[in-house]
Amino acid sequence: MLDIAQLRLAAAGVDAPRRDARLLLAAAMEVEEAALLADPGRCVAVEAAQRFADYLEQRVTRRPVSRILGVREFWSLTFEIGPGVLDPRPDTETLVEAALAHVDASGHGREAAWRVLDLGTGSGCLLLALLSELPNATGLGLERDPEAAAIARANAARHGLDTRAQVRAEAWEEVEGAQVDLIVSNPPYVRRGEIQDLAPEVTRYDPWSALDGGPDGLDAYRDLVPRLAGWLAPGGQVFLEVGHDQGGEVQALLQGAGLRTPAGVCDLAGNLRCVRAAAA
């Protein structure tokens, strides 16, 4: 069964056909992937086989596994996603790593009452990953799309973080008087003319509004950066995700707004993925 599924997915252009087939079969059988790895020849019930066939038909159209199953793992936490929510990706974990490194180097430690602001929270993955590591932190996530905001709230409840995480369905333009220690954001940064060149998993299933950064990919940063200093408490820092070739341009915008830009953080491929900023 897995061999045939792998061949079908490979023919459809899926990057990791064997692993995706195994993930879908495990989900259809309601077992962990490790169980299939340990016993690849185990019997498959009729109902599970039917579910697997349905999952496979969806994946052949390049619908992502996360969209088929409705969940994505991020920072070892499981997040519900939906049509209006950007599918979290491993590169975005770079922001969590950078923010936690700042916390660890601050002298206050992870037990301090950190205040976190997540702009364009989507599934809530950044905000909730940080709160999961900072037991006394509180956070606010802002999300324009009410349906996406509802998903972020559900994810907060899923992980028992809803008493420390507030999610509001509003744009960052509406924030007034926030004084926070950590700001994180993964704004839309794909150049409009390049969106159609992305993988079908992205162009067909991620919301356009979460991808489209305007003609040069920097529209959201031009809107966001001038507001940042007003939201930062003394000693606070901002962590922004950027496209693989946009780090220098975003750093220049931050410096132009009077912020300091310590060294950024690269992703696993060696690309500058996270730009940091602090009050001058």
H helices within 83-145, ranges in order? 93-105, 125-133
Q: Are 120 and 142 in contact (CB under 8 A)?
A: yes
Nearest to 75 by CA among 127, 36, 20, 32: 127
Question: Residue 184 forms beta bridges with which residues?
Answer: 118, 239
Q: Give the span between the Cα atoms of 88 and 20, in whole angstroms.
A: 17
135 appears as a binding residue in the annotation:
no
Q: Which residues of 92-120 are buried (b: 16+ CB within 10 A; e: fewer)?
A: bbbbbbbbbebbeeeeeeeeeebbbbbbb
189 appears as a binding residue in the annotation:
yes
β-pairing, 71-74 vs 115-119, is unpaired
143 appears as a binding residue in the annotation:
yes
124 appears as a binding residue in the annotation:
yes
Q: Give the span between the Cα atoms of 35 and 147, in whole angstroms.
A: 35
Q: Are 253 and 223 in contact (CB under 8 A)?
A: no
13 appears as a binding residue in the annotation:
no
120 appears as a binding residue in the annotation:
yes
123 appears as a binding residue in the annotation:
yes
CA distances from 99 to 105, 109, 241, 261 (A): 10, 12, 12, 14
132 appears as a binding residue in the annotation:
no
Dmax over Cα atoms in the chain, in whole Å? Answer: 63
187 appears as a binding residue in the annotation:
yes
Distance of CA 132 to the CA centre of its chain: 15
Q: DSSP strand E in 3-114: where?
A: 71-74, 77-80
Binding site as annotated, residues: 120-124, 143, 172, 186-189
Binding site as annotated, residues for substrate: 186-189
Binding site as annotated, residues for S-adenosyl-L-methionine: 120-124, 143, 172, 186
